[in-house]
Structure 1
Amino acid sequence: MPQLEVKTVIHSDLKTCFDLSRNIDFRKETLMHKGEMPIDGITSGYLHKGDWVSWEAIHFGFVQHITSKITDYNRPCYLLDEMVSGPLKSYRYEHVFKEEGPVTVMTCKFYFESPYGIIGKLANVLILKKYIKRLLLTRAEDLKKYAEKKTANKLKEKRKWAKKPIFQEL
């Protein structure tokens, strides 16, 4: 079973990063270029343990349907979604979050198995590993940018209030 891993250092807090990873609306927005749209199950908001979502997406020029379920969940450190049905034989997508000083390290591990025996294994090597790696990197980069922007805005707001004099009658 091929496995891919992407580690991303994010200058944001643990909860912001974790919540973005399970936010359907964020995923819709960032993967719109792939024509990815939730069509059944939880189609908006945040995913929790036991929730499932069916996605319609365009991959390799074909419309595909993928249903995944959150099978393990430990906020704000761990999220596991697994394919229930779709074009692959199976997949497991782990999201692990660790706070390391002022940053969050997000580790995404993607395990997948293709159908069609030896032909599927050949497709893994020649096409799928590279394609899925690119999707994972894009998703991680989008999450990093959004989380860091959100954190910068929070800090900016705090600084704004800290600079204002506070009047107090004695």
Structure 2
Amino acid sequence: MSRFEVTTLVLAPPSVVFDTSLSVEAHTSSMRDSGERAVAGVTSGRLSLGDQVTWRARHLGLTWHLTSTISAYIRPSYFVDEQVSGPFRYWRHEHTFESTRDGDSGVEATLMKDVVEFAAPAGPLGTFAEALVLRRYMTKLILLRNTHLKQAIETTMR
């Protein structure tokens, strides 16, 4: 099993960052390079506790379907999405949003933290793929998503 963390400072209140992070449209916009889109379950608007969505996207040269559910939800500080079905043997993405202030400007900000745990299928071959490719690839996707969210949110907050 692999695990990684990404922390992003967003110059906006936690409620704004939390809500945007649960937006289907914000997610698809952040993943437009892979053509990711919601194809079943909740396919637009903001996800909430118990909601399921099936994503279809092209990653690593293949088209994938992943159905996830929002399994924990404490607005505006925490939510978890977990794979219900899809390519991983295990997938869990924990999101936390902590109120803070930007050290330079003193503006209200949010420290957004992502903790992702996943396991590839295919036994030892999957474990090898995690170490060789998947961990780095998944970290890059979360960084890309967070950069997109940060820019979109901070642009609207101006």
In structure 2, C-alpha distance between the alignment counterparts of 1:63 and 1:113, rounded to whole Å? 19
Could you tell me which residue of structure 2 aligns to residue 147 of structure 1? 153
Answer yes or no: is 1:41 the counterpart of 2:41.
yes
Could you tell me which residue of structure 2 aligns to residue 110 of structure 1? 116
Please report how far the alpha carbon of residue 26 of structure 1 lies from its aligned counterpart in structure 2 after TM superposition: 1.1
Please report how far the alpha carbon of residue 147 of structure 1 lies from its aligned counterpart in structure 2 after TM superposition: 1.1
Q: In proportion to residue count, which structure has more strand?
A: 2
2:114 aligned partner, one-letter code: C
Answer yes or no: is 1:129 the counterpart of 2:135.
yes
Identity of aligned residues (%): 36
Q: Scaled by the length of structure 2, what TM-score is found?
A: 0.94
Answer yes or no: is 1:15 the counterpart of 2:15.
yes
Q: In proportion to residue count, which structure has more helix?
A: 1
Please report how far the alpha carbon of residue 143 of structure 1 lies from its aligned counterpart in structure 2 after TM superposition: 0.8
Count, aligned residues: 152
In structure 2, C-alpha distance between the alignment counterparts of 1:85 and 1:95, rounded to whole Å? 20
Q: Scaled by the length of structure 1, what TM-score is found?
A: 0.88
**Structure 2: tracts of 5 or more residues without a match:** 102-107
Q: Which of structure 1's runs of 4+ aligned residues deviate more than 2 A?
A: none
Partner SS for 1:88: coil
2:84 aligned partner, one-letter code: V
Partner SS for 1:107: strand
In structure 1, C-alpha distance between the alignment counterparts of 2:13 and 2:32, rounded to whole Å? 26
**Structure 1: tracts of 5 or more residues without a match:** 153-170
Deviates more, 1:39-48 or 1:143-152: 143-152
Could you tell me which residue of structure 1 aligns to residue 97 of structure 2? 97
The Cα RMSD (Å) is 0.7
Please report how far the alpha carbon of residue 27 of structure 1 lies from its aligned counterpart in structure 2 after TM superposition: 1.0
Larger C-alpha radius of gyration, 1 or 2? 1
In structure 1, C-alpha distance between the alignment counterparts of 2:127 and 2:29, rounded to whole Å? 32
Alignment of 1:16-95 (within 5 A): 16-95=16-95
Partner SS for 1:139: helix
